[in-house]
Amino acid sequence: MAEAKKTIDARGSFCPGPLMELIKAAREAKVGDVLEVLSNDAGSAKDIPEWAKKMGHTVLYVEEAEGYWKIAIKKER
Amino acid sequence: MTMRIVVLGGGTAGTTVANRLARALRPEIRRGTVEVTVVTDRDRHWYQPGYLFVVFNERPLEDFVRSERALLLPEVGLVVDEITRIDLERKQLISPQRHYPYDVLVIATGSYPDFQSVPGLAEVTYDFYTPQGAERLRDRLTTWTGGRIMIVQDVPHKCPAAPVEVTLMLDDYFRRRRLRDRVEIVYTYPIGRVHAAEPIADWAKQQFDARGIRYETFFNMEAVDPKRQVVLTMDGSEHPFDLLISIPAHKGAGVILNSGIGDESGFIPTDRHTLKMIGQDDVYVLGDATNLPISKAGSTAHYQAEVLVKNLVDRVRGLPETHLYNGKVACFLENSLEDASFIAFDYDHPPRPAATSQLLHWFKGMYNELYWLTARGLM
């Protein structure tokens, strides 16, 4: 598994907060960087992959941890 | 011993909190045991929601400005100075000229659109989030003969409903001027729906569909090419415009960034219920300056001020601080130049837009005047 270049801990912020945080980080990241989001909002598990697909980024994993979600994307463009 | 309560910031949050404190603590202030002072970098106070009405030439900008001194009760001290650093360790505010010590600090330094956050944006954009911007946009619209108007936005930004409002008001404005068929209005939003809050997104989408307003979602601005008049988005596409209205990501105040007490964007980590700065017992934060995941809006500051003042009065009088902020926010949603909706929500209750009506629009018009009573701490 690719190692995350940056982990965005968005726990405690509700949808679309975590996605907004990811968009901000993606803008600053380089192509090929892996960005991981931690979110305790179930909406993120749907919204983030949908956004990534639309932007042409790869979704590496969507995992449920203890009470929160771990979602990683690879910036492709 | 005098307890010095210093409020940094003279916007809605700072002015409201200082006036409410002075009213509640009048006996202590008269006895000299408490001092309430507002420290701000400007002597004028703007009612920012008024800018929307300036854009459509409904009201002049002068209607929405007052002198800060005239708004503050005589019991509140006012210092106009530019604070460059907050020194939490020595409990003082620092300006190039002076140091201002405090015992209790209330930070109400607000948030500001960062037009530099997207390359090329500042060179070409119009805006309605600054007094000068509202007048400039008004003047541009009065001479506009047609073309594509694009509304672009990034988060976080204050008054989250305003971009929807300006879009709906543009539609009505051009219909009244018999120009609507020559104007294409394109609204954009960064995520997969037209607003972050789903009930507002559903409400707005219905209005857009009914009124021929185009919208694009997943619209993440990356740069603007001012010469070619195109917005470049993260998905690699280009979007031409004739007139660009932007609401860029906001930042906290320079003094917060400079003092290193906020996050990367200058918003201060704040307890969502007590409004204390995380890890600080003598520092409170309210209004746009917090990092709370709720609307940055005047009403947020107003409801927070009500809670904060009760706790500060208890603190002064040696009682425990038991009042908690519940996340309450309320906003009018202008649907045109003559009708409006309204939403109120909190941490536990999502927003539900009320049926649009002329009555709500009139009430918004009245609130534009009543606001000065809010700032004075009277309502």
Tell me what the mean pLDDT of segment A37-59 comes to.
89
Let me know how long chain B is.
Answer: 379
Percent of chain A scoring above 90 in pLDDT: 42
Residue-averaged pLDDT of chain B? 96
Pick from B196, B234, B249: which is nearest to A55 by CB? B234
- Mean pLDDT in residue range B45-62: 97
Local confidence band at A16 (pLDDT 50, 70, 90 cut-offs): low
Instruction: Give the domain extent around A58.
Output: 6-75
Q: How many domains does chain A have?
A: 1
Contact B287, B375 (CB under 8 A): no
CATH assignment at residue A38: 3.30.110.40
For residue A1, pLDDT over 60 is answered with no
Element (H, E) at B152: strand B147-153
Torsion-angle region of residue B95: left (phi > 0), alpha (psi -120 to 50) or beta? beta
**Would the pLDDT of B258 be above 70?**
yes
How close B238 comes to chain A (CA, Å)?
Answer: 13
B interface test, pick of A11, A14, A28, A44 with most B CB neighbours within 10 Å? A14
Q: Please report residues of A whose CB lies closer than 8 A to that of B236.
A: 56, 77
Kindly state whether residue A1 falls inside one of the protein's structural domains: no
- Greatest Cα pair distance, chain A, in angstroms, is 32
- Spatial distance between the Cα atoms of B107 and B288, rounded to a whole number of angstroms: 10
Q: How many residues does chain A have?
A: 77
Give me A7's structure tokens: 């982990």
pLDDT of the residue at A39: 87
Residue tagged active-site, from A4, A15, A38, A62 = A15
Residue A29 counted as domain residue: yes
Q: Is B365 helix (H, G, I), strand (E, B) or coil?
A: helix
Return d(Cα A46, Cα A36) in angstroms, integer: 15
> Is A39 inside any structural domain?
yes
Evaluate whether residue A44 is within a structural domain.
Answer: yes
> Tokens 């929307």, residue?
B52
ipTM: 0.77
Q: Average pLDDT for residues B126-136, to the nearest whole number?
A: 98
Sorting pLDDT into bands at 50, 70 and 90, what band is B63? very high
Q: Is the peptide bond prior to B113 cis by the omega test (within 30 degrees of 0)?
A: no
Residue B241 — pLDDT band, cuts 50, 70, 90? very high
pLDDT score for A9: 80
Domains of chain B in start order, with CATH, are 3-110+253-328 (3.50.50.60), 119-249 (3.50.50.60)
A42 assigned to some structural domain: yes
Comparing C-alpha atoms, which of B154, B334, B305, B143 is closest to residue B231?
B154
Q: Is A26 contained in some domain?
A: yes
Name the closest residue on chain B to residue A14, using Cα atoms. Answer: B293
